[in-house]
């Protein structure tokens, strides 16, 4: 890729390079402004950052974007199995950027519109719902980490990651938060109580008014598997290392996803790990709560879902066989008498 860029740059005239840099600076300025706006603009900023990465990898002008280049970009997203909704949102972000700059957007082209229409008909991406992280699996993952503590002498970096990962696993299965919310946790967001911790979430997908939301983490008798104890021990460890930053986990949402997959791989193997991700926390919480007999309203209070249908979808197919309606039909089939 480096050779390709060098070759491409060699063909450009100095004035062309200067113009490219000027446009890039203007683009960066608009992207920065978008990032400071509301949730929609933040989503656009994220999508534009993905375009920026693609443009850099393929040595393309960041802005403005031609119809031909956008068509190629859409094709690359389709080949990478991105959903049609994600592709449309990426196009919407690109359209916004051009509109804000008083430049005609390539998304207005009949070619792009026809491409998206055709894609909607042919590009049927299966909903990639990650498997739920069950309580048994999380327990096995934490046990694996703890065995490493006692059987292998860890250097500082490995111990740091191990302590962070076990805390994320125990907190993640308990709070039902999104990966971005876990990554964004700050120590000032935690209110320590005698019976647990309350976590303040200042920015959430379902918090349309921006008022902030709360989730609770109760303290449990088993200190080894208590998420509150894990947080306390993690904070003590960081303090001892002189790390007094505001962030709790010092990682991104993507890192949370990789942590889940890496720790699942240690228990189930590499092949199985791809079926899990950071979203498995949210699904796992809902599924395990349902198994314990929790009401859907109580589950939604913790996951902060606004739609009952969406929340119900998080209780995965593992529980369908326990549906009383199914058992009722089977009883009738077997000639069970009416009560």
**53 and 88 part of one domain:** yes
Structure-model confidence comparison of residues 40 and 68, the more confident one = 68
- Report long-range pairs for 256-265 (Cβ below 8 Å, ≥24 apart): 256/168, 256/172, 256/179, 256/182, 256/183, 257/179, 259/164, 259/165, 259/168, 259/169, 260/133, 260/169, 260/172, 262/165, 263/141, 263/144, 263/145, 263/165, 263/169, 264/133, 264/137, 264/141
Q: What is the CATH number of the domain that holds 39?
A: 1.10.150.130
pLDDT at 145: 93
Structure-model confidence comparison of residues 88 and 306, the more confident one = 88
pLDDT in tens, 196-211: 888 888 776 665 666 6
**196 and 315 part of one domain:** yes
Q: What is the mean pLDDT of residues 100-113?
A: 89
**216 and 314 part of one domain:** yes
* Average pLDDT value over all residues in the chain: 77
Q: Is the pLDDT of residue 137 over 80?
A: yes
pLDDT at 148: 81
Domain with 166 in it: 135-322
φ, ψ for residue 103 (rounded to 5)? Answer: -120, 140
pLDDT at 307: 64
Q: Is the pLDDT of residue 117 over 90?
A: no
Q: What is the mean pLDDT of residues 22-30?
A: 61
Residue corresponding to tokens 């480096």 = 2
pLDDT at 5: 34
Q: Is the pLDDT of residue 181 over 90?
A: no
Q: What is the mean pLDDT of residues 90-95?
A: 91
Size of the chain in residues: 339
Last residue in a domain, options 96, 122, 148 = 122
The domain tally of the chain equals 2
**148 and 253 part of one domain:** yes
**118 and 140 part of one domain:** no
Q: How far is CA 234 from CA 3, 19, 160, 189, 323, in A?
A: 45, 50, 9, 15, 40
192 DSSP β-pair partners: 197
pLDDT at 264: 93
**70 and 31 part of one domain:** yes
Task: Classify the phi-psi angles of 293: left when phi > 0, otherwise alpha if psi is within -120 to 50, otherwise beta.
Answer: left
């Amino acid at each position: 890729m480096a050779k390709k860029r060098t070759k491409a740059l060699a063909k450009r005239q100095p004035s062309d390079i200067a113009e490219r840099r000027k446009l890039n600076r203007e683009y960066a300025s608009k992207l920065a402004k978008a990032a400071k706006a509301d949730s929609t603009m933040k989503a656009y900023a994220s999508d534009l950052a993905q375009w920026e990465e693609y443009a850099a990898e393929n040595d393309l002008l960041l802005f403005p974007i031609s119809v031909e280049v956008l068509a190629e970009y859409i094709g690359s997203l389709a080949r990478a199995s991105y959903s049609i909704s994600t592709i449309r949102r990426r196009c919407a972000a690109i359209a916004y950027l051009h509109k804000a700059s008083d430049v005609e957007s390539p998304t207005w082209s009949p070619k792009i519109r026809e491409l998206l229409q055709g894609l909607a008909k042919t590009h049927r991406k299966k909903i990639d719902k990650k498997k739920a992280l069950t309580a048994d699996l999380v327990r096995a993952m934490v046990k694996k980490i703890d065995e490493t503590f006692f059987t292998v002498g860890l250097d500082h970096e490995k111990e740091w990651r191990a302590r962070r990962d076990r805390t994320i696993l125990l907190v993640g299965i308990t709070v039902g938060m999104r990966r971005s919310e876990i990554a964004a946790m700050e120590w000032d967001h935690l209110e320590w109580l005698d019976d647990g911790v309350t976590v303040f979430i200042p920015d959430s997908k379902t918090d349309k008014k921006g008022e902030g939301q709360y989730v609770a983490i109760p303290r449990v008798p088993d200190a080894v598997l208590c998420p509150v104890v894990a947080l306390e021990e993690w904070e003590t460890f960081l303090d001892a290392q002189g790390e007094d930053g505001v962030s709790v986990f010092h990682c991104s949402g993507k890192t949370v996803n990789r942590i889940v997959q890496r720790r699942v791989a240690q228990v189930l193997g590499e092949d199985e790990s791809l079926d899990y991700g950071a979203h498995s926390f949210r699904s796992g919480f809902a599924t395990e709560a349902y198994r314990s007999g929790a009401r859907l309203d109580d589950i939604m209070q913790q996951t902060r879902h606004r739609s009952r249908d969406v929340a119900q979808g998080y209780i995965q197919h593992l529980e369908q066989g326990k549906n009383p309606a199914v058992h009722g039909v089977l009883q009738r089939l077997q000639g069970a008498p009416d009560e």
